[in-house]
Chain A
């Protein structure tokens, strides 16, 4: 099964994979060959790709995954190989999401939808931090 990971700036990976674990917005899903065609949005999380005996892991935020007959393509707004992820990068990403949350909260008038979405994003970000072994700040909700 063909697997592609592309970010807006470049294509990060293109390989033949046996299984891909995608951090979907509604939960993780593992894709293997002949999966039903699906489009899912991503939550901040870790993307695991099994190719032969190797496992590649990428930290992805924002974007979506398209599962088609030919394979999986993941379009992530930001994607970094897990090993290259630094505390500074994570902090910057976290601050960004916190900022989104604060603004959503300020702008919210009765409609809590955007605030809840941003809160989920923050929680996902914190969970992702612990998953890759880096600490995030405490989300201030």
Chain B
């Protein structure tokens, strides 16, 4: 039986753990609200942008002069996986789920005889994939210094991704991130960004537009921006998902700590009573012996 002092220390330590997880949960809740707002505010731009691009792309698809970002390089031998995760841990299965999806995709591509290259954004994903796929890493983007995700950050990543495409380093690029559904559900998602894929739910609009300059020039101008837009949406979804995941993970941790404290307290009280009973027995039997 553990002695009383040990139990007491144990209870104290679990109590301070509970304080920390509780604080982290509240911080995550506050950050979540901001992250969610940011994700929502970016939506009108992304939606409009995708709609116009889809319209242009479906018109230009199939033509020989279509830009490479739309028609592809004509091969799908080399894949670039852009794995976007958080910089910090303690957020439940958030990073693990993204890494798992990326790992499955990488394994599948390898089995099909493709070459896989991985670009990581955020430290945690890098750490998780390093052991199995370390030799495929082609780059890493550090977001530790980023307090609030801005479009410029996404542009930085997009520049890297597009630069590699122009240099012919890969044929197909896919981003991995977690889509924010609600605080308990985040859906790890893979989205192909190069070549541009027309969304499945896109329905052609019946408005006939004049294009100025011509359609091709607009498309060539918009496609690289589309990559940045997709990455930006991914990063923002990730930001909200991370905070949501952290909030529920910390909520669980706080509850578990509470349960543990209850259990330990009962054990502590029992031991204390046992000690008292023992002492009484000693006194009584001492008195009887006289």
Contacts and interface: CB of A to CB of B under 8 A. Distances in A.
Interface stretch (A36-44, A47-55, A80-88, A130-138): A36-44
Interface stretch (B39-47, B89-97, B102-110, B171-179): B39-47
A39 B211 contact: yes
Contacts of B46: 8
Given A41-B217, A63-B225, A6 B208 contact: no
B6 interface: no
Nearest to B154: A8
Contacts of B217: 25, 41
B207 A69 contact: yes
Contact of B210 (A4, A7, A36, A69): A36
B201 interface: no
B209 A75 contact: no
Task: Give the size category of B's interface with A.
Answer: 20 to 34
Given A39-B210, A77-B225, A6 B48 contact: yes
A75 B45 contact: yes
Among A4, A7, A38, A39, the one with the most B-chain Cβ atoms within 10 Å of its Cβ is A39
Given A9-B150, A26-B213, A77-B151, A37 B207 contact: yes
A26 B212 contact: yes
A117 B44 CA distance: 29
A78 B152 CA distance: 10
Secondary structure of the B contact surface, majority rule: helix
A7 B213 CA distance: 22
Contacts of A36: 210
A68 B51 CA distance: 13
A9 B212 CA distance: 26
A73 B52 CA distance: 11
Contact of A8 (B42, B210, B218, B221): B42
Contacts of A45: none
Interface string A87-104: 000000000000000000
A25 B217 CA distance: 10
Interface in A15-65: 24-26, 29, 36-41, 62-64
A39 B212 contact: yes
B232 interface: yes
A90 to B, nearest CB: 15
B85 interface: no
Interface of B: 38, 41-42, 44-46, 48-49, 52, 56, 150-151, 154, 207-213, 217-218, 221-222, 225, 228-229, 232
8 contacts: A4-B44, A6-B44, A9-B38, A24-B212, A26-B213, A40-B212, A41-B213, A64-B222
Given A9-B151, A11-B44, A26-B212, 7 more contacts: A10-B41, A26-B213, A40-B212, A41-B217, A63-B225, A64-B52, A78-B151
